Structure 1
């Protein structure tokens, strides 16, 4: 899957978790869904930052 798909999945999970938290007031599922979405988002951000600082490989 490409990064845009991962970003959309992370946003859906975080927003879904926040929605569940607001309407269910503290259910553990809301925190689990939001946490998984946030984890995917953080991993995606780390991947983008890593690629930004990585030296390009030059072919001889």
Structure 2
């Protein structure tokens, strides 16, 4: 590709800005909420399974 990185930077920047302009704040809030719920559920299940396996190993 050589020294011509401006085409790559322009393409990536344009793509990012076009995606950013099409995302509403409601979508961002929903995504953040779903990510938080997923993290809590994942942590809870991991902790319960760890406790369960430790208890039944004895």
What TM-score does the superposition give when structure 2 sets the normalisation length?
A: 0.47
Which structure has more relative contact order (CA 8 Å, sep 6+)? It is 1
Higher share in helix: 2
Structure of greater Rg: 2
